[in-house]
C-alpha cells in the first residue's frame, strides 16, 4: 500500500500535494518514498525543503541508504553549507556505505562546491574505484579553485589511467584553456569535437565562452550562428555577455533583440554595456524592460541597474533603485556607496556605510572598503579614511591588499601627509607582493603633491621597472616633472613615449549626449 502511494507521489510532480500526502503516511513513509521526494526537491532547486525533510527523518532515527545521501549531499552543495555537508559525510561513514563510488563522488563534489577544495582532493585521493564522473568532478574542483594547470594535468592523468573522457570533461578542459590563455589547445578541442561529431548545446555554450574569454569574439559569434540545434537562453546569454566583455556593445544589443523573450541574465549583461559607454538612454530602456517583464525583484539585476545609473552620473535614479531593492546584498551596498563616492559626495557615502554596518545581515567586503576609502579620498575626509582603514582590519578581519594600500596612500597623498605615506610604505615594504604598480603609482602621485623630489624619483624608478609599457604611468611621471619644475625631463619623456609608440590618440568619448 505504502509503495503504491510512493509511486503515486513520483507520478504526481506537485510538491505541495506530495508533501502533504507524505506527512499523512504512518511512520513518515518508507525509504523509497523519502528518497524520491528528496530527489524531487533537489531537482526542483529547493534544497531547503530537501534538508528540512532529511533533518526531520534523521531525528526520527530513520535508516538511510546511498539514494538518500546523494540528493542530500547535492542539497548541501547547493546551499554551500559545509556544516551540514560534514554532518552528512559523518553519517555516511557511520552508516558504513561509504565504499560506493557514487556516494563518494557526491561527497567530493559537495566539499568542492562549499569551497573546501583540499577536502575534495582528499576524498578523491582516498577513493579506490574512480569512474569518469569522479574524474570530471575532481577536474571541476581544480577549476573552481583556479588551478587550471592542475585541471589539465588530471585530464591527461585520467587518460593515462584508461578512463575515457566525455562532453563534461571537454567543457572543463575548454574552461581551463581559456583560463590559461591557451587558445591553440582550445581550438584543438573544438576541432576534435567536430571530428567525433559530438553535438551538445552545453558544449557549444562552453565554446562560446571559451572564444569570448580568449578575446576571439568573432569565433564565438560563428559558433553561435552555425549551431544546428535550437538555441536556449544560456547560449544567448553567453554570447551577449561575451560581446560586452569584448566591448562589442552594438552586437550585444542586437543579439538581445534576437531573443523572443529576454531574461534576467541577458538584461544584467547588457546593462554593463550601458554603464561602460554611459548610454543612459539605452540603460533606461533596459530598466523599463526589467519592470515590464517583472524582473525588478531580482537583486543582481537591480544592482546592475543601480550601477548603470551611477556610471551615467544619474545619482538620484541610482538611489531610488537602491531604495527599492528588497533584499540588498553586499554588492547593492557597495555600488551605492561607490556611486556617492565617485560623485564627490563623501559624507553621503559614509552615511550609507554606517547604515550598512547597522544592518547586521550584510557585512562589508574588501571591495566595499575600497569604495569607502576612495570616497574618503575624493572628498578629502582624511580622519574618516584612517578610521575605515583600521576598522577593516580590526572589526572585519580583512587584510588590506595592494589596492587598499594604493587607495589609502592616495588619500593621504592628496592631503599632503607625505611622512605618513612613507611610514605606511615602511610597514609594507618587507612584503614585496604588496608593492604593485598601483602602489608605486600612488606613492609617485603623493610625491608630486608634496614636491618630494628624491623619493618621487625613487618611486618612479620602481614603477617603471614593474610596468614599463603602461601609458598612464608616463602621464603620471610627466605630471610629477611638471610639478617639480623639470620641463626638460618632461620633454624627454614625451620623446621616449613617441619612440615606444605610447602616445595616446586625441581624447575621444563614447558618451552619448
By CB under 7 A, tell whether 201 contacts DNA.
yes
Whether the Cβ atoms of residue 444 and residue 459 lie closer than 8 Å to each other? yes
Single out the residue of 68, 183, 246, 371 in contact with DNA (rule: CB under 7 A).
371
By CB under 7 A, tell whether 37 contacts DNA.
no
Round to whole Å and give the CA distance between 493 and 418.
25
Count of chain residues binding DNA (CB under 7 A): 74
Question: How many Cβ atoms are within 10 Å of 437's Cβ, its own excluded?
Answer: 18
C-alpha cell at 38: 528528496
Round to whole Å and give the CA distance between 289 and 297.
13
* Least separation in angstroms between CB 131 and DNA: 5
Residues 325-344 that bind DNA (CB under 7 A): 329-332, 334-335, 338
Single out the residue of 33, 36, 183, 237 in contact with DNA (rule: CB under 7 A).
237
How does DSSP classify residue 229?
Answer: S
Single out the residue of 183, 214, 275, 445 in contact with DNA (rule: CB under 7 A).
275
Residues 78-107 that bind DNA (CB under 7 A): 101-102, 105-106
CA distances from 282 to 242, 275, 312 (A): 19, 10, 11
Rg of the chain over all Cα atoms, to the nearest angstrom: 28
Single out the residue of 76, 217, 264, 477 in contact with DNA (rule: CB under 7 A).
264
* Least separation in angstroms between CB 267 and DNA: 7
Residues 108-167 that bind DNA (CB under 7 A): 109, 131-134, 136-137, 140, 166-167
By CB under 7 A, tell whether 168 contacts DNA.
yes
Whether the Cβ atoms of residue 136 and residue 106 lie closer than 8 Å to each other? no
By CB under 7 A, tell whether 382 contacts DNA.
no
Single out the residue of 84, 89, 175, 190 in contact with DNA (rule: CB under 7 A).
175
Question: How many Cβ atoms are within 10 Å of 337's Cβ, its own excluded?
Answer: 28
Whether the Cβ atoms of residue 298 and residue 264 lie closer than 8 Å to each other? yes
**Per-residue x/- mask for DNA, residues 295 to 324, rule CB under 7 A?**
---xxxx-xx--x-----------------
By CB under 7 A, tell whether 277 contacts DNA.
no
By CB under 7 A, tell whether 272 contacts DNA.
yes
Whether the Cβ atoms of residue 330 and residue 293 lie closer than 8 Å to each other? no
Residues 484-513 that bind DNA (CB under 7 A): none
* Least separation in angstroms between CB 50 and DNA: 11
Single out the residue of 35, 36, 68, 269 in contact with DNA (rule: CB under 7 A).
269
By CB under 7 A, tell whether 206 contacts DNA.
yes
Q: What sign results for the dihedral spanned by CA atoms 350, 351, 356, 359?
A: positive
* Least separation in angstroms between CB 75 and DNA: 10
Q: Is 45 helix (H, G, I), strand (E, B) or coil?
A: coil
Q: Which is nearer to DNA, 230 or 499 (CB)?
A: 230
Nearest C-alpha neighbor of 416 from the set 436, 438, 445? 445
Q: Which is nearer to DNA, 25 or 86 (CB)?
A: 86
* Least separation in angstroms between CB 71 and DNA: 6
Nearest C-alpha neighbor of 138 from the set 149, 153, 154, 126? 154
By CB under 7 A, tell whether 434 contacts DNA.
no
Determine the number of helices (DSSP H) and then strands (DSSP E) in the chain: 30, 0
Whether the Cβ atoms of residue 400 and residue 408 lie closer than 8 Å to each other? yes
Q: What sign results for the dihedral spanned by CA atoms 332, 335, 339, 344?
A: positive
Single out the residue of 173, 406, 446, 477 in contact with DNA (rule: CB under 7 A).
406
Q: Which is nearer to DNA, 18 or 370 (CB)?
A: 370
By CB under 7 A, tell whether 477 contacts DNA.
no
Nearest C-alpha neighbor of 422 from the set 380, 458, 463? 458
Single out the residue of 202, 289, 398, 484 in contact with DNA (rule: CB under 7 A).
202
Q: Which is nearer to DNA, 36 or 332 (CB)?
A: 332
By CB under 7 A, tell whether 445 contacts DNA.
no
Q: Which is nearer to DNA, 20 or 198 (CB)?
A: 198
Round to whole Å and give the CA distance between 308 and 276.
8
Round to whole Å and give the CA distance between 337 and 189.
44
Amino acid at each position: 500500500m505504502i509503495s503504491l502511494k510512493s509511486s503515486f507521489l513520483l507520478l504526481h510532480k506537485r510538491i505541495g500535494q506530495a508533501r502533504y500526502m507524505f506527512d499523512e503516511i504512518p511512520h513518515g513513509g518508507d525509504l523509497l518514498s523519502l528518497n524520491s521526494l528528496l530527489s524531487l526537491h533537489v531537482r526542483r532547486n529547493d534544497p531547503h525543503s530537501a534538508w528540512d525533510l532529511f533533518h526531520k527523518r534523521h531525528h526520527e532515527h530513520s535508516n538511510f541508504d546511498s539514494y538518500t545521501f546523494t540528493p542530500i549531499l547535492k542539497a548541501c552543495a547547493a546551499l554551500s553549507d559545509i556544516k551540514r555537508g560534514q554532518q552528512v559525510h559523518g553519517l555516511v561513514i557511520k552508516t558504513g556505505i561509504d565504499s560506493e563510488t557514487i556516494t563518494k563522488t557526491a561527497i567530493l563534489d559537495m566539499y568542492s562546491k562549499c569551497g573546501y577544495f583540499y577536502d575534495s582532493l582528499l576524498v578523491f585521493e582516498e577513493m579506490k574505484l574512480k569512474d569518469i564522473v569522479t574524474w570530471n568532478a575532481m577536474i571541476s574542483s581544480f577549476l573552481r579553485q583556479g588551478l587550471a594547470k592542475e585541471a589539465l594535468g588530471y585530464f591527461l592523468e585520467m587518460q593515462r589511467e584508461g578512463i575515457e573522457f566525455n562532453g563534461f570533461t571537454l567543457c572543463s578542459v575548454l574552461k581551463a584553456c581559456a583560463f590559461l590563455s591557451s587558445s591553440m589547445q582550445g581550438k584543438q578541442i573544438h576541432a576534435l569535437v567536430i571530428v567525433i561529431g559530438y553535438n551538445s548545446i552545453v558544449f557549444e555554450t562552453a565554446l562560446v565562452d571559451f572564444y569570448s574569454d580568449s578575446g576571439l569574439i568573432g569565433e564565438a559569434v560563428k559558433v553561435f550562428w552555425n549551431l544546428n540545434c535550437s538555441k536556449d537562453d544560456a547560449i544567448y546569454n553567453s554570447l551577449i555577455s561575451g560581446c560586452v566583455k569584448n566591448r562589442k556593445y552594438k552586437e550585444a544589443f542586437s543579439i538581445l533583440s534576437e531573443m523572443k523573450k529576454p531574461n534576467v541574465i541577458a538584461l544584467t549583461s547588457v546593462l554593463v554595456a550601458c554603464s561602460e559607454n554611459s548610454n543612459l538612454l539605452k540603460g533606461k530602456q533596459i530598466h523599463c524592460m526589467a519592470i515590464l517583464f517583472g524582473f525588478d525583484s531580482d537583486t543582481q539585476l537591480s544592482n546592475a541597474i543601480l550601477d548603470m545609473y551611477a556610471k551615467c552620473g544619474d545619482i538620484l535614479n541610482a538611489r531610488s533603485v537602491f531604495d527599492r531593492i528588497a533584499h540588498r546584498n553586499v554588492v547593492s551596498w557597495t555600488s551605492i556607496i561607490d556611486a556617492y563616492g565617485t560623485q564627490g559626495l563623501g559624507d553621503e557615502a559614509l552615511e550609507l556605510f554606517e547604515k550598512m554596518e547597522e544592518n547586521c545581515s550584510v557585512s562589508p567586503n574588501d571591495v566595499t572598503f575600497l569604495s569607502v576609502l576612495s570616497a574618503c579620498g575624493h572628498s578629502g575626509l582624511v580622519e574618516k579614511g584612517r578610521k575605515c582603514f583600521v576598522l577593516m582590519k580590526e572589526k572585519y578581519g580583512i587584510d588590506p591588499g595592494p589596492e587598499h594600500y594604493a587607495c589609502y596612500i592616495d588619500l593621504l597623498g592628496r592631503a599632503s601627509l607625505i611622512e605618513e605615506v612613507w611610514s605606511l610604505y615602511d610597514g609594507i615594504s618587507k612584503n614585496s607582493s604588496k608593492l604593485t604598480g598601483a602602489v608605486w603609482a600612488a606613492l609617485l602621485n603623493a610625491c608630486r603633491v608634496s614636491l618630494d623630489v628624491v623619493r618621487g624619483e625613487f618611486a618612479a624608478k620602481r614603477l617603471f621597472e614593474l610596468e614599463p609599457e603602461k601609458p598612464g604611468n608616463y602621464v603620471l611621471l610627466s605630471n610629477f616633472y611638471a610639478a617639480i619644475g623639470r620641463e626638460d625631463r618632461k620633454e624627454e619623456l614625451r620623446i621616449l613615449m613617441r619612440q615606444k609608440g605610447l602616445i595616446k590618440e586625441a581624447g575621444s568619448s563614447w558618451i552619448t549626449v
